[in-house]
Structure 1
Amino acid sequence: MHHESGSPTKMALQKFKSNFWGVFCLIYITIIGFMALFAYVIAPDSSVNANTMNLSIHSQPPGFQVEMLILPQRSGNHHKNNWEWLLGKEDTPQQIPFSRLKIEENEVLVYRYKKDAQTSLGLPQRFELSRFNGLTNLEAIQEVFVKKHTFLLGTDKYGRDLFSRLLVGSRISLSIGFVAVFISLIIGLSLGALAGYFGGFIDATIMWLINVMWSIPTLLLVIAITLALGKGFWQVFIAVGLTMWVEVARVVRGQVMGVKKLQYITAAKALGYSHSRVILKHILPQVVAPLIVISAANFAAAILIESGLSFLGIGAQPPTPSWGGMIKDHYSYILLGKPYLALVPGLAIMSLVMAFMLIGNALRDALDVKT
């Protein structure tokens, strides 16, 4: 009877598949990534940063419905961009939530939405009738230019669609994770491999740098780097990445110090292979497993750090949507009877961070050769 033992990769994959929470979190992260990539396709508000404001419908509850008048754009004003599905629409038609429409002479009178519209409509906003593509009948105008809009998660304090902001904001959280992990891997792998392989003065110097960086509180260091580089989207990415390489370097150093003593490394040196070839081809492939686990944890930590920075006002700057910034804008509403405005982005952060932590645990169990 012929029996073929599975490769370590297949065995690890099989163990990962048997972990329910690992597979579930991988599917969840994949869905979030897909929704983030196609956020402007999925989101009801496809304007750049989902920043369409209507103060008359601010702080409305989930499921809120209102009739919107879509004003036709004037000819020649619309600029078509082939990347609108990725970057959002720069030129979007004006949308006005209203309680009542009325035609008077050659004008369309629009009474903006008011919660107590039955008692007071307020002053109307007037538009020339000729603007509506030659339509002169109120029913025809309503059929063509009026649509009923449903806000799945309600609106924020500026009247923006909370669901759309949440979708676009997921890009910040996932992007900060990818960039921070990439920067930390580049720096941590390089310094850790050099320290573990050569030892001596090089090891002592790199370990001194690691200990200095380790002694500084992460959030304080990120704030200092952010203030030095300036507030902004990419500055936060770089700042978070530059503070997360320390743990990677320490782990890589320890792994390299153990692997370099193995016989096949001694044989490679005896054959005259260069140090760079020994490190890149024979040592680093052996430290991939712990790096995958660390990267998953760092991904979750990067999301939390970015959310904290945005909450403090030094992360992604308005009008760029960020889950931490959304909490900052609405945390006071917890006491004002509308806690969902802060809880929804908070739950989004919690669920995504937990997913990365659980998938990290699943990968640790799957890659552990002792189990």
Structure 2
Amino acid sequence: MLLKDQAVQTNFARKNLAPSREFLFGTDWMGRDMFARTLAGLSLSIRIGLLTAAVSALIALILGTACAVLGRAADAVISWWIDLMMGIPHILLVMLISIACGRGFTGVVAGVALSHWTSLARVIRGEVLQLREAPYILTASKLGVSKMQIVKNHMIPHLLPQFVTGLILLFPHAILHESSITFLGFGLSSEQPAIGVILSESMRYLTTGRWWLALFPGLSLVCVVMLFALLGERVAKLLNPASAHE
């Protein structure tokens, strides 16, 4: 809360100051501390990224498992839906969903969460298709164990590594797309200190030499995205038995 208050606090006596010891990222045309605004924007992006990545990964787990468990008809319908979603340009799909849900926080969360599950769902579907032919799964089925119990007790534990890895790798994509549609004006409102809002506003002042308004927020966003992408790759290697020795 304190960080958010500092991010929106204006002081025209210190406007357009270049980076210094007092203001590490400088100040903008309203005298707002760009360091505080960048941290607040990253905090908001991270919260949105965590929420949307979790929802997307859960959707992918449910639909990917349903493809291989509910029969050929369900598999055909869900696979067709995955292909349809993946055939639409990603950023366009995110914007359309965001607009349909009224933009703002709700629109961004819905747009990102409902458009990022397709790749992970396809991976989980492939895993389940192989897993359901395993001897212990076939034995459990012949012994009369219900499909739901097989999924809960045998398939879900096996799918956890793919689920966790997919969840972490979805996170940087969610942050980037949230910032992108906000930058384009289809996401969060301009009153919120989001990275997309900061970058969008800074474009009007770059020609006047105020480079710090876009440089530091942009670099901070790239660093966070690269950090979580690297974390996802490391977790994938740790959870993959074939690469555990690396």
- Give TM-score, length-normalised by structure 2: 0.93
AA aligned to 2:130 is G
Q: Which residue of 2 aligns with 1:370?
A: 242
Per-residue deviation, 1:189:
1.0
Q: Distance in 2 between matches of 1:184 and 1:252?
A: 13
Deviations 1:158-189 (A, max 9, x none): 21111111121122211121111121122111
Unaligned 5+ runs, structure 2:
none
Is residue 2:11 matched to residue 1:50?
A: no
Is residue 2:176 matched to residue 1:304?
A: yes
Q: Distance in 2 between matches of 1:233 and 1:55?
A: 29
Per-residue deviation, 1:320:
0.8
Per-residue deviation, 1:57:
2.0
Is residue 2:13 matched to residue 1:62?
A: no
Larger RCO: 1 or 2 (CA < 8 Å, sep 6+)? 2
Q: Distance in 1 between matches of 2:223 and 2:123?
A: 27
Q: Which residue of 2 aligns with 1:290?
A: 162
C-alpha root-mean-square deviation of aligned residues, in Å? 1.6
Q: Which residue of 2 aligns with 1:171?
A: 43
Secondary structure of 2:106's counterpart equals helix
**Aligned with residue 313 of structure 1, among 185, 194, 200:** 185
Is residue 2:143 matched to residue 1:186?
A: no
On the 8 A contact 1:331/1:339 being kept in 2, the answer is: no
Deviations 1:44-99 (A, max 9, x none): xx62x7211122321111226xxxxxxxxxxxxxxxxxxxxxxxxxxxxxxxxxxx
Q: Distance in 1 between matches of 2:55 and 2:110?
A: 8
Q: Distance in 1 between matches of 2:69 and 2:207?
A: 57
Q: Which residue of 1 aligns with 2:101?
A: 229
Per-residue deviation, 1:316:
1.4
Secondary structure of 1:338's counterpart equals coil
Higher helix share: 2
Paired positions, count? 243
Higher strand share: 1
Q: Which residue of 1 aligns with 2:220?
A: 348
AA aligned to 1:361 is E
Deviations 1:210-239 (A, max 9, x none): 111111111101111111111211220111
Moved more, 330-339 or 278-287: 330-339
Q: Distance in 1 between matches of 2:29 and 2:144?
A: 68
On the 8 A contact 1:169/1:323 being kept in 2, the answer is: yes
On the 8 A contact 2:38/2:217 being kept in 1, the answer is: yes
Query: 1:143-182, aligned counterparts within 5 Å?
Result: 150-182=22-54
Per-residue deviation, 1:267:
1.9
Q: Which residue of 1 aligns with 2:133?
A: 261
Is residue 2:209 matched to residue 1:337?
A: yes
Secondary structure of 2:32's counterpart equals coil
On the 8 A contact 2:60/2:120 being kept in 1, the answer is: yes
Secondary structure of 1:335's counterpart equals helix
AA aligned to 1:196 is A
Q: Distance in 2 between matches of 1:362 and 1:205?
A: 34
On the 8 A contact 2:57/2:166 being kept in 1, the answer is: no
AA aligned to 2:153 is K
Q: Which structure has the bigger radius of gyration?
A: 1
Query: 1:24-35, aligned counterparts within 5 Å?
Result: none
Per-residue deviation, 1:276:
0.9
Provide runs of 4+ in structure 1 moved above 4 Å.
none
- Give TM-score, length-normalised by structure 1: 0.63
